[in-house]
Amino acid sequence: MALKEQIRVGGRSARIQSAVHDAVHELGALTTRNQVTVPQIAAVAGVTPSTIYRRWGDLQTLLADVAVARLRPIADPEDTGAVESDLRAFIDQFAEEMSSPVGRALMRDVFSSGQSFPSQCAGFTCDHLATITARAQARGETPFDVDEVIDHVVAPIIYHILYGDREVTPDYCQSLLARLRSLPAM
């Protein structure tokens, strides 16, 4: 059985990851994504291109890793005091962030890598929704089904953002939530 390389938390590996991620951000601010190369990133990060290829494999995987790091939540969803308003606030913020130019670029990077990055991002969304349902239960409210919210609210939002066939407005998001509430219990 082959052992997978263990990446230590902290130490040289963490410094390299941080330097490379910072270099991607720095170069991304100076030029377009399609003009950034591994040798440029390596030079700015102070590592060799082979270090990047050894760790990430290719540019697209590196960009996806950077995107996932930016999409990783830094705080729990807003606690408004009620499950309905918590969910509404979360969906509005989610749609706004994902439909922004930065959010669209991050999603393109995540989906184009061919790796497991999309499932990590899906996990972030599910974790936030689970936090909202746990709060609802703690307050004695009826929680919602996370999978139903994913299927009937989050999925259409992502679909329309990716395909650009509809503006994802707060009114549209609220209509998805209203339709979710009107679905028969399964």
pLDDT single digits (tens) 117-171 = 889 999 999 999 999 999 999 999 999 999 999 999 999 999 999 998 889 999 9
User: CATH 1.10.10.60 residue ranges in the chain?
Assistant: 11-57
Least confidently predicted of 12-21, 38-47, 111-120, 161-170: 111-120
- Predicted local distance difference test score (pLDDT) of residue 183: 67
**DSSP code string of 62-84:** HHHHHHHHHHS-SSPPP--SSHH
Find out whether 83 and 136 touch, Cβ atoms under 8 Å: yes
At the second CATH level, the architecture of 11-57 is Orthogonal Bundle (1.10)
Look at residue 63 and tell me whether its pLDDT is greater than 60.
yes
User: CATH 1.10.357.10 residue ranges in the chain?
Assistant: 75-182
Give the angle 28-32-37 at the CA atoms, nearest 5°.
70
CATH class belonging to 75-182: mainly alpha
Find out whether 129 and 146 touch, Cβ atoms under 8 Å: yes
